[in-house]
Structure 1
């Protein structure tokens, strides 16, 4: 946790803008809103240091809270968070959600076995003893461009990459944990398999607040306009949270939303719009969203947390389930620790395919598929932390 050089305001005070997320979009939004004269509360899930580029204040006032878990965002823009042993709420005039992205699923046979990791999980365990120097790792990819930063991290940790294979046709081997990868008629022994299915928007907080969501090329995304405004007044979503994008686009989207949320002059806003337009964010996102669809067999696990097979999901749909929420109620898929981040896109895909098949030869559009209902808490919170909520801030 830290404060800017002008001092620190109590979290219970009124703020013009709350920014959630410390990536390029969140930093850009905070700096721009402050320079436009707004008082800003900048919330980051990870602890922050000056080396992270924590923004100084402009003409406004920036209060920084690192190590803060934002677990609730409500339609009246009340933000609920926990950090430094305290639980509190704050209700600003505007909220900018810049919560980034998560890994997309890459559901090949055997992906549920212990020893499989997503790229983000890999980065997390490389700093522990879970992957030791000399470990043999296979990389399975459904994206056209390999993740160069992941390769560098593996080499730096002394990990040996024994195979790189495309997702289609690949299968993870092992009775109760990963022992090998099979692809193209060849089986290669390995200790871990990294499944790279690309990235997807992380926008649960915005959805919880009531913003509309649509299905995009890379999965579900919140409905936003060119300035990052959602369908909820005063709520903005920018950067990867609005659909995976480059760091340059994320930073510019954050800056634009920051000046709009702060009520900057028309000239300032027009300059930021023009700067973002030159980066062509639509094309940027379309290129990043490109992945190879991985077909799911009935015997392949779809929900890893609950161990639900694809066949069970298809059976629920044949039995009348017409939404992700309905499939969840009938099968328990989406009720596990990942809160549906990996299985909801797959359930939506099965529902969409079934709807398209049922609608063949029938006039009218196939009903749109929506993600699972978002409810608080968006992140794990203990009962003690909820009980610690300051009633004066509730």
Structure 2
């Protein structure tokens, strides 16, 4: 990873310090939280290490620090906020403040976390958890305090090991990869990826856009592109337009959640004023190359009542960027590698981490919050982060259980309200699995890293009838063995194996997560810091 060093600045204090205790050159002045933490631990032995600086991580870190816990937050990005409250680089000068502060909830969350006495390690990858009996469990075990997990990280200071009393995982989610003919062409992006260009870099990554999928994010991103001056040719949603009956049934879930609906209504209003066609019951069947080998057009088709493409309705729309938004996948790799129990939750995005009422995972000393427990949005992630923080404070002995119960009551009410809306959205905007399966051909690439096609997986299943799990197919075909370690192909492969073998996706399982769960330099393994 190459960059100019930690850059978490306004609205955050610059606390991403070097091992020598000096702020990087050009950094904003520190507020002193590194020099005078609330707890008594060192940077390598905090009370709680929080992985992820999105809504859940920020909310948890704030609650923990406010009650005297010594907290370290580790995040891959140079600035906090996660995807929803993503901020541009600190060197950018713009009117109205960073993008993450444009949303009132994000502004409050970032401000509260900035004022809390918390240590921050930006630009740092958390790539393994050791000490719980997982693979490579003897890595750097010699100097580890007894009874503590070891969190392996890699960032500007190289490889550093953290020995927290408790570990909170809030790794978020990533866009659901959807294989179909042409999806590997240059110019085919995820809606979340396009949003990063627009929100964080102030760039429009193309000239003419088609947005397609089944998630309401595509409406929001299309409106953001319009606001940035881009041309949006069409928005195609592979879901039915909600009718009056559906709207009536949704009323209980809408109560107390009008903000999300207002966001969608504003996006639709922007698209309507720009005269962008928004078509329901329409999906992408292929991405077509232009003369230069990059995306030149998008083939769309209407969907039948059984969610399969209607023959004869296909049409082509010229575009140099196709942004896809079919939903999200929880980023559970680190929790799974550590040994936390999982369950399959289709509405939550796939494999999620099991937890109790205080967000404790099955592995002692580990808490989880946010999208790793099921994709449900920033508001629910924030509430879960606060709940996890309170649970950790009880375990640390900093808050008595009756006090935690009292503080948790409004958080639990908030969670119940948010979960009602999350369930409604999951039902209304579920990916059309039958339609997505119908458009895949044997030539469709399934695993981009290893260039394994749908046909290769089908052939392996026919030639080896005993193959019935994701791991078994991985061993035979190499699908999932590339640099992304299966993030790109696991959902599609599991769905394919389930369909071909007559199983439920849950029975197919997931790939085994092994360290390092993210790419790191090979030297990181020989320098355990």
Which bracket does the TM-score occupy, shorter chain normalised? Answer: 0.7 to 0.9
Q: Counterpart in 2 of 1:113?
A: 185
Q: Counterpart in 1 of 2:258?
A: none
Q: 1:27 aligns with which of 47, 51, 58?
A: 58
Q: Which has the higher helix share?
A: 2
Is this contact kept in 2: 1:197–1:291, CA < 8 A? yes
The answer on 1:177 being equivalent to 2:294 is: yes
Pick closer, same or farther for the CA change 1:5–1:367 going to 2, 3 Å.
closer
Deviations 1:29-61 (A, max 9, x none): 111112233211111221237974372576xx5
Pick closer, same or farther for the CA change 1:379–1:7 going to 2, 3 Å.
same
Pick closer, same or farther for the CA change 1:228–1:369 going to 2, 3 Å.
farther
Matches within 5 A, 1:138-157: 138-143=210-215, 145-157=216-228
Report how far residue 373 of structure 1 moved.
Answer: 0.9
Q: 1:226 aligns with which of 349, 352, 357?
A: 357
Deviations 1:231-256 (A, max 9, x none): 10111111112211122211111011
Give the Cα–Cα distance (whole angstroms) in 2 for the partners of residues 13 and 386 of structure 1: 18
Deviations 1:128-156 (A, max 9, x none): 87824xx011112123x243441243224
Query: Could you say what secondary structure the match of 1:53 adopts?
Result: helix
The answer on 1:250 being equivalent to 2:250 is: no
Q: Counterpart in 2 of 1:362?
A: none
Q: Counterpart in 1 of 2:322?
A: 193
Is this contact kept in 1: 2:332–2:351, CA < 8 A? no
Q: Which runs of 5+ in 1 are unaligned?
A: 358-364
Q: Counterpart in 2 of 1:269?
A: 404
Is this contact kept in 1: 2:219–2:235, CA < 8 A? no
TM-score (norm 1): 0.87
Alignment RMSD, CA only?
A: 2.6
Matches within 5 A, 1:19-168: 19-48=50-79, 52-53=110-111, 55=113, 62-74=118-130, 75=132, 77-126=149-198, 127=201, 131-132=205-206, 135-143=207-215, 145-166=216-237, 168=283
Query: Could you say what secondary structure the match of 2:508 adopts?
Result: coil
* Larger deviation, residues 191-200 vs 160-169: 160-169
The answer on 1:292 being equivalent to 2:432 is: yes
Deviations 1:178-228 (A, max 9, x none): 110111322111111111111111111111100112211221111222221
Report how far residue 13 of structure 1 moved.
Answer: 4.1
Is this contact kept in 1: 2:380–2:419, CA < 8 A? no
Pick closer, same or farther for the CA change 1:141–1:13 going to 2, 3 Å.
closer
Q: Which runs of 5+ in 2 are unaligned?
A: 1-5, 7-13, 16-30, 81-89, 91-100, 102-109, 133-147, 239-282, 302-313
If asked which structure has higher relative contact order (CA below 8 Å, sep 6+), I would say 1
Aligned residues: 378
Is this contact kept in 1: 2:295–2:320, CA < 8 A? yes
TM-score (norm 2): 0.66
User: Larger Cα Rg: Structure 1 or Structure 2?
Assistant: 2
Is this contact kept in 1: 2:442–2:455, CA < 8 A? yes
Q: Counterpart in 1 of 2:368?
A: 237
Report how far residue 125 of structure 1 moved.
Answer: 4.0
* Larger deviation, residues 261-270 vs 146-155: 146-155
Is this contact kept in 1: 2:44–2:161, CA < 8 A? no
Report how far residue 85 of structure 1 moved.
Answer: 2.7
